[in-house]
A and B are shown apart, each in its own frame.
Chain A
Amino acid sequence: MPEIKSIDLRGKIADAGAVHFLRAEWMVPRSRFVIVRFSLHNKEQPLGVRLDLDKRAILDDVQDEETSAAVKARAQEIWNLVINYRKERHETYV
């Protein structure tokens, strides 16, 4: 089983309403998608949301429309953290 790679998002990504961002995770090297873990009202949720790195977008909704929009607005910032992490480790092709 491949190990889970994880980037700590706490303190790096601003909250979106009651959503507090925790980690970006992936298991497959160079995977196109990462799972963004978050807590809602201080309770970590069993399911995260998908960040599509190719589209630089979070695909899933959280709670209501306003919260979802706020979560999706964080996609580029999280993308930057993931890509910088991968670049430092030469996990991009070119």
Chain B
Amino acid sequence: MNRLRKCTPPLFHSGGAHGQESGMALFYKGVGVGTFLYGNDPRINGMPPRAPAITYNAGVAMRHIVRATTVSPCVSLTRSYGVAEMYAREASLTFPSVTSPAYVYEVDIPDPIPTGITLIDPVREVAATLPSPVTSLSYFHDGDKEFILGVASPTLMATHLNAPIRQPPGSGGASRSAVLTLELEALVRALRDAEVLVHGTVPASLVTVRHAIV
């Protein structure tokens, strides 16, 4: 079975300065039953984004990660098989079965990255947009240290997400939950899911293995 092969420098925009040594990095894509990629085997047809015509920028990347939109010029991949399997199994339109399983695909991406696709590390992408810490709250929050747990798991850890912030004695500020910006939410969710975005269609030649998930 394929496992992580030689993984040269972490990630990367294509055409960058990482081409000194070659290697392959292994990514995963979970595909639930009945979802966009389900009917067209990516090993044959590749993995196209839902909306390739949308112009890409960092804001698009953040909304792709944080919001409920499935209409995006990007395709999400993950470095974690466990994350991909969770999405395949749980994010299906009907329960996976022996006759109609969900799938996890392995995607081997070489370094240098093939022309025509751009591999985006969302954490780096968001970080590059952040202003000076004195300019705005940007990705900082003003809640307790458990607040991050609520950002990573807003349903199961809702108490931490919604907890009123502590304020200096006598400050008289309104009771409210911590500030959560799009930037922080994108950073935490990208880290949680070990997520990488591909801008463009993942070529079929890079989709090497398919695992059935029941």
- Report which A residues bind B (CB closer than 8 A): 4, 25-28, 30-33, 35, 46-50, 52-55, 57-60, 83, 92-94
B155 touches A32 (CB 8 A): yes
Q: Are A50 and B153 in contact (CB under 8 A)?
A: no
The verdict on B91 contacting chain A, using a C-beta distance below 8 Å, is yes
Residue on B nearest A79 in the bound complex, by CB: B155
Q: Are B154 and A28 in contact (CB under 8 A)?
A: no
Convert B130-158 into 0s and 1s, putting 1 for each residue whose CB lies closer than 8 angstroms to a CB of A: 00000000000000000000000111111
| In the complex with contacts A30-B156, A53-B155, A59-B68, A46-B89 CB distance below 8 A | no
Main secondary structure on chain B at its contact with chain A?
loop
Interface residues of B (CB under 8 A from A): 32-34, 67-68, 70, 86, 89-95, 153-160
A50 in contact with B91 (CB, 8 Å): yes
Which of A26, A31, A47, A52 is in CB contact (< 8 Å) with B68?
A: A52
Show 6 A/B contacts (Cβ-Cβ < 8 Å), sorted by A: A28-B89, A30-B156, A53-B155, A57-B68, A92-B158, A94-B158
A28 and B90: CB pair below 8 A?
yes
